[in-house]
Amino acid sequence: MNWALHTAGAICDDASIEIREDPHTMRSAMRPLMKRFLLLALMACAVTGAVRAANVGDVPIISKLDVAGLKEGRHHFYLNAGRGATGLPNLVPVIVMKGAGEGKQLLLTAAVHGDELNGIRVIHRLMDELDASKLTGTIVAVPGVNQAGMEVHSRYFGLRGGDPNRAFPGSEKRGEAEARFAYHLWHNLVLPGTDLAVDLHTQTTGTSYPLFVFADFRNATARDMAYSLHPDMIKNDPGEEGTLETSLIKKGIPAVTFEIGGPKEFEARMIDRALAGLENFLNSQGFLSDGARPAREQPIVGTNFTNVYADEGGLAVIEVGLKDHVKKGTRIATLYDPFGQPLRHYYAPVSGAVVAIATDPVRDAGSMLVRILH
């Protein structure tokens, strides 16, 4: 294996590596050995830092994104964001749409939390629908930031990692894997050239949001971005330390978090609405020239959350729906024991609008039942 790594590392300096096989030139007995060799070669490239010379299939691996030299059109890359526990590179998919006209650079990210998938499909569809010849500026889209979490069906960074969206801008020195991963992303993908950012999320496993935006209204552009996405609800929010949105705002880069329904599925209606909202946002910011349109309905806007939690474990029946207006004292949920006997009723502690609900009836003690925006 040492010989293979040494030889493979030498290849990285002047040749691109493609993990493929040619049935006409490779005997069946040799195919597994060649595949293994090519994978080792890819690993060696990542380890030695010569990642710009390596490909996965037709997709080049890069160590830092630089859109300046790209031609008009669509480009695919894998960003090498450090190495995982086995020494393999953390490869993050990146799509760049370089427009015909000079303009701003937008960063679109999805699945920073590995169980929040709707944004991935929104990015796929948006990139397929855009025409670079009609685009002013550049869109950098990341359809699946947290590959380690996605692979194990987790919100977090892999099986044992923490929350990547509490780790930005990251650190080279902290011990947590997600902080080092965030550091690679921040310096090699997020910061270079970004003028605006929309971070696509959903609620986490077992819960759901409507079309909902977090935005810090102290930044006027972020406020305008939030409204142009045509959400159902907006929280005027000062942000939370370690989130991608707040970290960008602190750097003077307008950013919002766009919540699109629930986790672990592609919700067609929510994806359609989010896509329409993003297209309107692109028009409002001058990336497209079709003109922004007003919202059919004004969003519900609040500044505070109040969560209602299960005091003990049980089976929950949620008695309100998303976007419902509730008054203080309205019954909103009932918790049952295994025999269907009520354990406890829950009532709205404040007046407001329902922004999140539990969709999984099986609730642990301390888990959220209903979240109210007010």
Kindly list the domain boundaries of the chain, sorted by start residue. Answer: 2-56, 59-284, 304-373
Domain 59-284: which CATH number of 3.40.630.10, 3.90.180.10, 3.20.20.70, 3.40.50.300: 3.40.630.10
Q: Which two tokens stand for residue 349?
A: 């502690």
pLDDT tens for 30-76 read 554 454 455 545 554 444 443 345 899 999 999 999 999 999 999 99
Three-state secondary-structure class, residue 199 = strand
Pairing of strands 233-236, 314-318: unpaired
Q: Which two tokens stand for residue 370?
A: 């209903």
Contact call for residues 167 and 176 (beta carbons, < 8 A)? yes
CA distance 238 to 339: 44
Q: What letter represents residue 261's amino acid?
A: G
Average of per-residue pLDDT across 222-229: 98
- CATH entry 2.40.50.100 includes domain 304-373: yes
Conformation bin of residue 29: beta by default, left when phi > 0, alpha when psi is -120 to 50:
alpha
CA distance 324 to 322: 6
pLDDT tens for 117-170 read 999 999 999 999 999 999 999 999 999 999 999 999 999 999 889 999 999 999
CA distance 52 to 247: 28
The pLDDT of residue 175: 72
Among the residues of the chain, which ranges form H helices? 2-12, 31-48, 118-129, 147-151, 177-185, 220-228, 244-250, 268-284
User: Could you give the percent of the chain with pLDDT greater than 70?
Assistant: 86
Q: Which helix (H) or strand (E) holds 140?
A: strand 136-143
Q: Say yes or no to pLDDT of 309 above 70.
A: yes
The pLDDT of residue 322: 98
pLDDT tens for 327-338 read 999 999 999 999
pLDDT tens for 177-194 read 999 999 999 999 999 999
